[in-house]
Structure 1
């Protein structure tokens, strides 16, 4: 092995080898285990959320593969209708063209060309993350098989009356000229105004005051609503108002939806331009007047003075005219949530238009029962409440989009407007022939389906449905879905509905593991606008300081984030490139994967797990230096196990049990912590040190063989335990260690996952080593407190020990002398008077370390005095900062919490130093 751990030299080599050897294909044996990757957009690149999610899925896939399960991690990408069309349209715009210049067919060809040339970025990044997906089965939501599944689904649902075309209110993007889903609408708080307008009663008896944030929509008002119990307006219900600026009269209606405490208690109702008003309009059979064009300009349904005006220009004129007529009561500043299209940035309008819809209520009922009855289980369990809340209030799903890239709706129209839904144009023509008694020309619907429609079929369409394939019979229902909480409605619920409907009532997955969002070190959501986005490849491969400065200057990375990375780079990587490697990043994600909580990614943690990889690498080099070319008991020769050998084997059983249990419970944080503690503390810090006296003794062949065999076998097991979390470094080391441990195989990824054996637990060895550790740690604590050099031999006096202490001292004296750096060990008799000493306890036994001659009292007091002065200053500055109300009010909560934690640490440090100063003074 190379002296220095260099992830860049091993990672891509091993991934190519795994892929070439077919390591990720299902074995065909064992219980089926299947995970479907949430298909990333073909336009996308791997961000930290993807990297986190894919790490969890890969841990599960590698674990189950090693468990002997017939494991499939199904890869694929989503055609991302709007996003992909925008990418290609921008290319055309740069050439001075639009998609209309090319025409539909040529434009679609251009998109396919773009995908062939540029659409594989995220697949390559998945490879860099070590994702063990079966690439031979990769699917794309627009490939032939999935397109057939989409058409079949649409036709069957239409035949069952569950898909219909109708005029309803939808989110409309006036720039893209298409309906968009709620997920594609981002609502953020913005500053605006609340206009209070007077609507005169037609009988001349007065007026009602209504308030709106969108004055232009008043031209589409068809009523004013009040609460039926509001005494102020009870007598006015049923009367009519004159709608300002128009020649229309509108009624005053009563509805429980109105909040009498808000504003004047009167609400203008515009059913064609507000979702709540639309529902009220349906309840009261109000007219639906659409006043907007597809560009969000005013149409011919409004008075001539406003026709053709952009909505915001119309707003200005309407407000001015209301004011001139004395109908504008006042204007208030107002904060409001403004919905914008996440792709175009345009303010989205509720818009009344003809669209295709899925009737969801009949599909939702069995999907709700599936979760209620436990056929589908959410992890954590509380997310089922979010699911239920949406599913029990579910609205029909708008599935049509007015773009070109996507699954074109399989519906054809004749000149009379009759609709023929079919699997092909030939089938539609046959239907039309039967309807008319002759051949008639048909025109296919120009719209395409919502991207989420094809994604809803993902768990079974990727396995070959509607064909009855072996893959479908084997892997459906899948085992677990790993996803974020933000798409429970848009994807998770729809997969359950579609899966149960088309797969004979069988759910698409048994469990749903919901993970949190990845946030930056200050707890802020990562976004390009905030400049706190981290590219996982930058962390894996490293980013040179020049590129770091360029990203910061371009606003792609916030200064605080850039500074942290720069500090980590200069500290750990003198060559200027902080290459942490994939394994360190993956282990960081695993350590943060608590159930459902957001993930705060601090570069300090990534640095720490890069050090963990170094620790494992260096420990393996030590083992190899002491075992390669040596007799490690592979041939079955007698082996004598030391107490340390027996102890580490026993402790190994505990960590094996813990890691397996926590993975099965989706507690990747606890599994990784158990693994980290065992490798770092027990194997490296303790066992390797306890092994050295045996390895250096060399006079007992059986004992030497026993320790060598234990070294390699425990390390080989550690590598298999860690492989799902850190696949690359474990494979590289395993190739050298496995032969020494008597293990055969081409790859660690195909080896069995370790299983704890109760028969290998050794309570006696664990008790004995615990005694040794307490003895050594007690003396190390005294060294640290007294600032005694680590290499200085110490004389130790023992007092109050019993027979078991004396026996253990006799058996393990060599370990104590070597690891605690002891000059001598002397028992004090009961009658002996102990000198002034520092004391540590091992049970009832006292360890006495005489102070005389070991430390320079005056020099130590002087040093401690300086430390006290510095600690006192740190504490005072922290107190002043937290006493500053301006800091408390303006700093992010995570920053304030961190400062409070620092205050506690400073207090503890000061107390510890004061106690030590007093102890030295007494000498």
Structure 2
């Protein structure tokens, strides 16, 4: 027999208990089973510095929906969890902690500092994992990975050595993005561009031994200290006479050549370009072509270095002001224009990034990009939605070499060892104790690898690679990657080319892209705006199910969503609706199984056929990653079709007046439909569905591992669906008409139903009587001859007449209508005068005027309805 549910659903009491049951059952484990097809997802590893935010909650909810569905569909489902070491963020966090102690990492030394970081990670690094469990994430926690655990570290070293030996990793001096705050190099993908107001300075450079000068334009005057040439187009007639000559670099008084290069755009500005090879990527290439000197003028903190003369030690922006002032004093500022331009900023801290020349480690991207582009173009990997594949391909076709070295201590240290005698670089899988060429002593490179280098290997390093493990053979390639569009270049692209290079297989067949979670005004959530929402607070207040259903309902792939706290309350109400419906059923249950009876009533066939269609549609929606649409359909069916209609239709069959057989048939269908609905809803709202399912008659241990509902041909009843819809339309029409007139349900009235479908409506006679609040019901094919005193409601197949006197006190209703009519006329007159006043219509904002006109039209419509109601009553 089913157990009784408490009167009130309390998610705080239920959720931890249910999750503990799931954990103890082992139901989350992904087990190799040759008899079943695998389905694998790897979690985008959150930073160990992080705590759950709404973006995480959204991303993990979508993955959990997919993995729970596939688990119920019989797949060997594996969801691999893990965290990322987050090189820059974690090091900054620990250094901040050290500053409070009055020390720096240099006071501790590298080894002692790393011990402190590991200790911090052990204490705080798994906080987000516990929060993911609160959300209901059904990961295989026995397989929890970390990008710096022993297995991942071995994979990282194997990849670095392999790519180095193939000539795909090299060390060289190139222009890189440098963050002066984080004091490390950044890859192109780690730079965010923001439009900022500034100026364009036009500066005069005197031509040596001449009264002539050239004018160059720059947005960064401070870099002129590192200029080593001025470039003009070789075909520009204005400057051909200057090519090969030199100009005097102002303030520095260094002679620099005038070179001809086709890179220069003759039509832009003056046609003269200052060349600073150490501080601009295009200038760097020109410098290589013309064998120009490269002069670095900024240090790691973006202060002027020893090459900057009297400006040494100044911050870059302080130096900018001083340089412009000195140039103005010398009469060398031609003009200054206001200028808005894109400034590269660090994705981590927001500091303006400096392009500087630096000796760094790089991955050659062009050879790796070819296969990564092909597998998307050929459809081996598809993006959902497809528009992101074009963005991906465009980026990959224009990708630059990837700067992978970072000037940090926390991370995978680069396995390159420098000979102190001959300078040879040894790159090997094991740490060497001497130079492989001369036998001299060696020291390891101080830098570590970009965090994304290790996470690029995530789909296969988490399954045991480089070892050929059974898990790797069975679960790779993974199936779906779920991620936001903001890290397509950071992570998705790198996983694809890494999978093709090292596994010779795609890492996943589908990239399911979702948008960002924004606040109710459409703004990105941030600390500066103070509009962030803690999902743990939402869970504690409304329950994890309400938060999950709020996030997913209405979502469409690739599009941002707005988060409304009030919708969490609405979804909690939905949870309560399911709970109360389940309690009603259980209070009436006398059966111990939910098998369908052989004899089905009209309403049974209708609900089963509708459920059958829902199962097919929801299954297809999930397969197409239309999770928001699927959630909406389940919501509507449970609330409207099952609770508000079918339960009400069945209530008379559960009464004491019916036979035991009649009551049990109703119970069986009610129980069967509810059980199937709980299965469909489970991936979206796992806690409440599991709790209710455990209380219902059921087979098996858990809803989580029960069988996903199947479409059944024998439960298709299209004719019964059509009949019930006709009956329900009639009931709706009567209810709507009564609601217009403010008639309470307790006041019953006789109905005359005129239709050509008498047989159908005859089958629904009891339903109409009960749900349309009828004292009596006549079904006929002829309308009454005398319509006086009757009001009507209409559907496509019927017209329903109701004696007005049985619904309302006509005299009182006429008084009410007249009172409302006078009030409406007064408001119409006021608005009419306002809208005829040119002073208002000409001066008020267009939206305000439009709103007043709309209000006027609605009041006119209301007046017509009031007149029509009064006319009908006087008939």
With the shorter chain as reference, the TM-score category is over 0.9
Asked if 1:173 corresponds to 2:172, the answer is no
Between the aligned partners of 1:705 and 1:639, the Cα distance in structure 2 is 12
Contact 1:191 1:336 in 2 (8 A): yes
Q: Which moved more, 1:762-771 or 1:137-146?
A: 762-771
Asked if 1:789 corresponds to 2:749, the answer is no
Asked if 1:824 corresponds to 2:783, the answer is no
Asked if 1:242 corresponds to 2:255, the answer is no
Contact 1:273 1:290 in 2 (8 A): yes
Task: Tell me by how many angstroms 1:698 deviates.
Answer: 3.5
Task: State the secondary structure of the residue aligned to 1:795.
Answer: strand
Give the aligned partner of residue 916 of structure 1.
865
Give the aligned partner of residue 488 of structure 1.
488
Deviations 1:784-822 (A, max 9, x none): 2222223210222233x22xx322333221111111110
Task: Tell me by how many angstroms 1:19 deviates.
Answer: 1.1
Report 1:531-550 matches (<5 A). 531-541=530-540
Between the aligned partners of 2:266 and 2:532, the Cα distance in structure 1 is 45
Give the aligned partner of residue 660 of structure 1.
619
Asked if 1:5 corresponds to 2:9, the answer is yes
Contact 2:554 2:632 in 1 (8 A): no
Task: State the secondary structure of the residue aligned to 2:231.
Answer: strand
Asked if 1:768 corresponds to 2:723, the answer is yes
Task: State the secondary structure of the residue aligned to 1:509.
Answer: coil
Task: Tell me by how many angstroms 1:254 deviates.
Answer: 4.8
Deviations 1:477-520 (A, max 9, x none): 100101111111111111111111111x2010111011111111
Q: Which moved more, 1:641-650 or 1:61-70?
A: 641-650
Contact 2:87 2:450 in 1 (8 A): yes
Give the aligned partner of residue 448 of structure 2.
448
Q: Which moved more, 1:342-351 or 1:714-723?
A: 342-351
Between the aligned partners of 1:362 and 1:770, the Cα distance in structure 2 is 62
Match of 1:845 among 798, 801, 825: 798
Contact 2:609 2:716 in 1 (8 A): yes
Contact 1:32 1:71 in 2 (8 A): yes
Q: Which moved more, 1:92-101 or 1:692-701?
A: 692-701
Deviations 1:137-190 (A, max 9, x none): 000011111111111111111111111111111111223321123444343333
Match of 2:204 among 195, 198, 207: 198
Deviations 1:62-97 (A, max 9, x none): 000001101110000000011101111111100001
Q: Which moved more, 1:269-278 or 1:775-784?
A: 269-278
Give the aligned partner of residue 308 of structure 1.
313
Between the aligned partners of 2:260 and 2:219, the Cα distance in structure 1 is 22
Task: Give the unaligned 5+ runs of structure 2.
Answer: none
Contact 1:791 1:821 in 2 (8 A): yes
Match of 1:69 among 75, 83, 103: 75
Contact 1:645 1:706 in 2 (8 A): no
Match of 2:352 among 347, 352, 356: 347
Call closer, same or farther: CA 1:71–1:853 in 2, change over 3 Å: closer
Match of 1:298 among 276, 292, 304: 304
Match of 2:699 among 744, 750, 766: 744
Report 1:140-155 matches (<5 A). 140-155=146-161
Q: Which moved more, 1:860-869 or 1:675-684?
A: 860-869
Task: Give the unaligned 5+ runs of structure 1.
Answer: 542-578, 889-895
Report 1:91-490 matches (<5 A). 91-202=97-208, 204=210, 206-227=212-233, 232-233=238-239, 236-255=242-261, 257-302=263-308, 304-415=309-420, 416-425=422-431, 428-429=432-433, 432=435, 434-436=436-438, 439-490=439-490
Count of residues in Structure 1 that have an aligned counterpart in Structure 2? 858
Give the aligned partner of residue 563 of structure 2.
601
Match of 2:604 among 621, 637, 645: 645
Task: State the secondary structure of the residue aligned to 2:468.
Answer: coil
Between the aligned partners of 1:635 and 1:789, the Cα distance in structure 2 is 39
Between the aligned partners of 1:874 and 1:780, the Cα distance in structure 2 is 33
Task: State the secondary structure of the residue aligned to 1:759.
Answer: helix
Between the aligned partners of 1:748 and 1:906, the Cα distance in structure 2 is 52
Match of 1:810 among 762, 766, 778: 762
Contact 2:406 2:449 in 1 (8 A): yes
Contact 1:210 1:267 in 2 (8 A): yes
Contact 2:594 2:672 in 1 (8 A): no
Give the aligned partner of residue 673 of structure 2.
714
Indicate the RMSD between aligned Cα atoms, in angstroms: 2.8
Task: Tell me by how many angstroms 1:369 deviates.
Answer: 0.7
Give the aligned partner of residue 22 of structure 2.
18
Give the aligned partner of residue 572 of structure 1.
none
Deviations 1:511-536 (A, max 9, x none): 10111111111111111111111111
Task: Tell me by how many angstroms 1:605 deviates.
Answer: 2.5
- TM norm structure 2: 0.93
Contact 2:45 2:83 in 1 (8 A): yes
Task: State the secondary structure of the residue aligned to 2:306.
Answer: coil
Task: State the secondary structure of the residue aligned to 1:478.
Answer: coil
Call closer, same or farther: CA 1:875–1:583 in 2, change over 3 Å: farther
Asked if 1:614 corresponds to 2:576, the answer is yes
Report 1:691-702 matches (<5 A). 691-696=650-655, 698-702=657-661
Asked if 1:862 corresponds to 2:819, the answer is yes
Deviations 1:677-700 (A, max 9, x none): 111111011101101121126433
Task: State the secondary structure of the residue aligned to 2:322.
Answer: helix
Call closer, same or farther: CA 1:494–1:244 in 2, change over 3 Å: same
Contact 1:452 1:490 in 2 (8 A): yes
Task: Tell me by how many angstroms 1:207 deviates.
Answer: 2.1
Call closer, same or farther: CA 1:389–1:221 in 2, change over 3 Å: same
Between the aligned partners of 2:11 and 2:302, the Cα distance in structure 1 is 54
Between the aligned partners of 1:903 and 1:665, the Cα distance in structure 2 is 44
Task: State the secondary structure of the residue aligned to 2:649.
Answer: helix
Between the aligned partners of 1:865 and 1:581, the Cα distance in structure 2 is 49
Task: State the secondary structure of the residue aligned to 1:10.
Answer: helix
Call closer, same or farther: CA 1:849–1:912 in 2, change over 3 Å: farther
Asked if 1:674 corresponds to 2:594, the answer is no
Give the aligned partner of residue 51 of structure 2.
45
Give the aligned partner of residue 555 of structure 1.
none
Call closer, same or farther: CA 1:879–1:618 in 2, change over 3 Å: farther
Contact 2:172 2:360 in 1 (8 A): yes
Deviations 1:279-308 (A, max 9, x none): 443455443221222222222334x32333
Task: State the secondary structure of the residue aligned to 1:440.
Answer: coil
Q: Which moved more, 1:246-255 or 1:455-464?
A: 246-255
Task: Tell me by how many angstroms 1:747 deviates.
Answer: 1.0
Call closer, same or farther: CA 1:849–1:874 in 2, change over 3 Å: farther
Give the aligned partner of residue 568 of structure 1.
none
Between the aligned partners of 1:187 and 1:696, the Cα distance in structure 2 is 69
Between the aligned partners of 1:104 and 1:420, the Cα distance in structure 2 is 22
Task: State the secondary structure of the residue aligned to 1:435.
Answer: coil
Give the aligned partner of residue 547 of structure 1.
none
Call closer, same or farther: CA 1:684–1:902 in 2, change over 3 Å: farther
Call closer, same or farther: CA 1:284–1:649 in 2, change over 3 Å: farther
Call closer, same or farther: CA 1:228–1:813 in 2, change over 3 Å: farther
Between the aligned partners of 2:835 and 2:20, the Cα distance in structure 1 is 52
Between the aligned partners of 1:617 and 1:751, the Cα distance in structure 2 is 20
